[in-house]
Structure formats: structure tokens, C-alpha cells
Amino acid sequence: MLSSILGAWGWVILGLVLIGGEVLAPGVFLIWLGLAALVTGAVVGLTDIGWQAAALVFAGFSLVSVLVGRLLTRRKGEEPDAATGLNDRGRQLIGKVFRLEATMTGGEGRIRIGDSSWRVVGPELLAGSEVRVVRVEGATLVVEKS
């Protein structure tokens, strides 16, 4: 009923409200739905379709715009749902240089990072040697001579 009363303007207003809602609840999601509502308003204005068809058009445009939005906002080289390292301290250490606490024996040793001690694996090195973290395997850091 709302579509038949307001027609295309109802969709345009909904689109503007959703885009404005993005300012209040940032997260880069409502903007895509708002754009879909604006496009739906244009389609309704040009074709004068009923509210049922307009709702289906909006659903289709919403799906397409959200998928395109995900592609546009994804970082290059990042897997679609890859961990960002925000709560993965080991991953944050990759590329950083530290000093060995003790001589590495059997390819294993320890380094101190802040108030914690990490198990490391890598080449046999003497205590005090600088090592660079190259990757993380579980709770173990893989290092190389720096």
C-alpha cells in the first residue's frame, strides 16, 4: 500500500533514511541498502510497477549492492573472511626482530616479548642473537637470523 501511495518517492525517502542511518551506525552496510532503495525508486518511477514487484526489485538490488560493496571494501590480497590479526598476537609479531633469551638447542629456543615468553623454532643460534619472526605455527613462532 505504501508503494502505491508514495510510489517512487517512498523508495527515495527510504534510501535517503538508510544512507543517513549509516552516519549514526557506521559499518558500511546500510549505505548499500540505501543505494538499492534509490535505484528501486528510479525503477518504480520509470515503470510504475506494483508494491510486490517493487519489493522484489529492492531485494534483488540489495543483494547485488551488498555483494559489490563487499568486493569494493575488501583489502587487496586478503581472503574474504581472513582474520585481520586484531586479536591474534602471534600474527602481529611477524616481521619483528627480538633477542633470544638462551641459546637455541635442537632448533628450539625462547624469546621474551613484553611480559611473556614465546617458544621459537629456527636455526641454532647463541643467546642474545637477533631473530626475525617469519610465521606463526599455533603458539610457536618460526624465526630466522636477523
What domains are defined for the chain?
A: 2-73 (no CATH), 89-145 (2.40.50.140)
pLDDT at 84: 55
Task: Indicate the pTM of the whole model.
Answer: 0.51
Distance CA 53, CA 40 (A): 10
Neighbouring residues of 135: CB distance < 8 A, sequence distance ≥ 6: 94, 141, 142
pLDDT for residue 80 is more than 70: no
pLDDT at 138: 84
